[in-house]
Amino acid sequence: MDATAGQTVLVVEDDVSLQRALGGLLGRQGFSPVVATTVAGAIQAAGEHSLNAVILDLSLDGNESGVDFLAWLRQQSPYQRTPVLIYTGRTMLEGDAEQLILRYRAHVFYKPHPITLLVEYLQRLTAAPPNGH
């Protein structure tokens, strides 16, 4: 019995090769990946799907920030406790971003951390349903 089977994970990433790698790995682990490349696309995906977790890049095309989506997500009652894993190429987080990430309880992984470690951590986070869900 696979605890991750059918769980929907939103991947917010503008790098197509990383989208494919994450989507493929998530699919092989039993997750159902959904991909967005912009904050607007991520918001739309969150409205169309019942998300069990989010993998979020901080730097998106057009100078968009994944932190903006994270802030929006935490204001939506169904997603206040949804696990969010940030996968960023930034070597340092700016003060505001770091404070928001801590406040909104996201987990940060730095590229080029192997995506297999990211997905293993995601599996642990999604293995038990959150309280009240």
Write down the domain spans for the chain.
68-85+93-111+119-128
Model-level pTM? 0.87
3-class SS string, 21-68: HHHHHHHHCCCEEEEECCHHHHHHHHHHCCCCEEEECCEEHHHEEHHH
- The whole-number pLDDT of residue 44 equals 97
Q: Which residues pair with 109 in a beta bridge?
A: 87
For 27, other C-beta atoms within 10 Å of its C-beta total 12
- pLDDT < 50: residue spans in the chain: 1, 130-133
The pLDDT tens digits for 81-104 are: 999 999 888 777 777 788 888 888
**Joined tokens for residue 101:** 């990430």
Q: How far apart are CA 110 and CA 36, in angstroms?
A: 20
**Joined tokens for residue 100:** 């928001």
